[in-house]
Each structure stands twice: as structure tokens, then as C-alpha cells.
Structure 1
């Protein structure tokens, strides 16, 4: 797998702001309004969220965040690969970093929400590769025909 530099990010850079705007725009493009759960940049700065960016040299390759739902439960958020880095292992590097951080924090579970439609197929495949399984909605998510929740225990 390709090696990227992963940095905790304060969300102040123009590159990361642009990638997150793209992330939200893509969520809106591929999801009904009630099923868009992407967090805006101000929410990603919340005390319950830690955000990381992935870099190849000076180029932003992707990002991801970990939201604490409970002292033993986290949620991956804002996982996005920059378009120039698709199919180069960025999503896998993000997910592996989030899993390692969850273990370091002592979480017993990670849960996430994603789409059921074709634009989300690669994400679902990646999550299944790392033992995420479909589960009932958690937190503030509600069942709908578009979204699905997935979880994995440690």
C-alpha cells in the first residue's frame, strides 16, 4: 500500500476546506436531502471530533475524522479521497488510521452511515473488507431506503 503522511489537522487550510466542500457537494449530488449526513467544517471542529488529512508531499490526498459517540464508541466521518488520488489506497489508509486510533482510545465499537446506491459501492466494499457489517441505525440516524449503517466491534 502507498505510504501517505497523516497529520492531525486544524481545518484552517484552503486545501482541506476545498476538499470538504467537494465532499459535501458530492453527498448532495448523490443523496436525497434527508440522507445527507456530511458534517460541515464548523461541526468538524467540535470537541468530540478529531480530524486528519493525508498528504503525498505537498499534495492533499484525502481526509477523515473520528467522532466520539460514547467513551467506548466512535464514528468515522468525512472520509474523502481527493479526485487526483482515487484508486491509490487513500481510503484504506484513512480507515486503517481511524481503526488504529479507535483501538488506542479503547473504543469497543466503530459505527458509520453510508449510502446504499452505486456511488457508495466502493466505500461499502472497503468497510466490509475491514469487518464492518450492516446494522440498525444508531445515534440520530433513522432508517431510510437510501442510507445504511454499518458497525464493527473490537
Structure 2
């Protein structure tokens, strides 16, 4: 596959809509609705999220995405990490995560946390986060403990 082109993208950019929908469909296929915490582009934009996209060409389709939203004066939460099946296994997720961590650090944030699924469908995501220095933690923010969720965090 051709290398992806990575850049900041507005959370509500229509180019993200298809991948956001695939992300939500993946979650819905594996987790009950009360354990899904996906947000659409409009909700992410309203919360001040910073998003990155990996495109298949300078103006090609978005094949990888991820971002973060502020959850406190020096903390953020990773949101909407997803790589299209066609781009998996090529480092796109790790690249997007690296962009998120670098941007959040440069923005003066000290901690970044996330919620991901506990089932095998989310095993690759959990491995990616662990390799990047995330460790499990209790539920944070407005989350409640849920056996379908794994909460992770790391300092920046």
C-alpha cells in the first residue's frame, strides 16, 4: 500500500465521516450500546477535540484517524482511534498515536487517558497503547467502571 499522508483535520470535516461511522459500527458489532463511548464529528468539535487523519494520498480518503479532547486544565482523553482494514498492519495507528502524544505534550498537557474495549476485538488497540507507555487505571472523568471497558493513562 502507498504510504499515508498525515495531517491535522477538523473533527467535523466531512472527510472523517465515513471512518467515524466505521469506527462506531465496529464498536456496535462487539460491545453493547451502554458500553460504547463513540462520539461523532460534531460532538468532538463542540468539545474542542484535536484530530489527525492519515489519508491514502494528499487528497485521498481518510484511512486512519485519532485525536484527543481536553478533560481538565492539564489532561486529555484520546478519542476515535481507528484504522481502516485496508491500512492495518502498516503502523498507521502507531503514527497517529505518536502525533497525538506530541501535540498534547506541546500544548502543555501533563496526562492523557483513554477508554477502550476489554474484549478480543480491542486487543490490538490495547497492545498499541501499552507499547506507547499507557498503563491501566481506574475509570476517570464521567466514566463508570464497566467490565466491557479498560481504562489506561500515561504522563506526557
TM-score exceeds 0.5: yes
- Other-structure match for 1:113: 115
Report the Cα distance in structure 2 between the residues aligned to 1:46 and 1:24, rounded to whole angstroms.
18
- Other-structure match for 2:101: 99
Report the Cα distance in structure 2 between the residues aligned to 1:46 and 1:8, rounded to whole angstroms.
16
3-state DSSP of counterpart to 1:25: helix
TM-score normalised by structure 1 residue count = 0.92
Compared CA separation, residues 47 and 137, structure 1 to 2 (3 A): closer
- Other-structure match for 2:89: 87
Report the Cα distance in structure 1 between the residues aligned to 2:47 and 2:35, rounded to whole angstroms.
24
Report the Cα distance in structure 2 between the residues aligned to 1:132 and 1:3, rounded to whole angstroms.
27
Structure 2, unaligned runs of 5 or more = none
Q: Matched residue pairs, number?
A: 152
Query: Are residues 1:143 and 2:145 paired?
Result: yes
3-state DSSP of counterpart to 1:45: helix
- Other-structure match for 2:17: 17
Report the Cα distance in structure 1 between the residues aligned to 2:132 and 2:8, rounded to whole angstroms.
22
Compared CA separation, residues 143 and 84, structure 1 to 2 (3 A): same
Dislocated runs of 4+, deviation >4 Å: none
TM-score normalised by structure 2 residue count = 0.91
Report the Cα distance in structure 2 between the residues aligned to 1:3 and 1:153, rounded to whole angstroms.
30
Deviation per CA, 1:19-44, whole angstroms, max 9, x where unpaired?
A: 11111111111111111001122102
3-state DSSP of counterpart to 2:95: helix
- Other-structure match for 2:127: 125
Structure 1, unaligned runs of 5 or more = none
Compared CA separation, residues 22 and 70, structure 1 to 2 (3 A): same
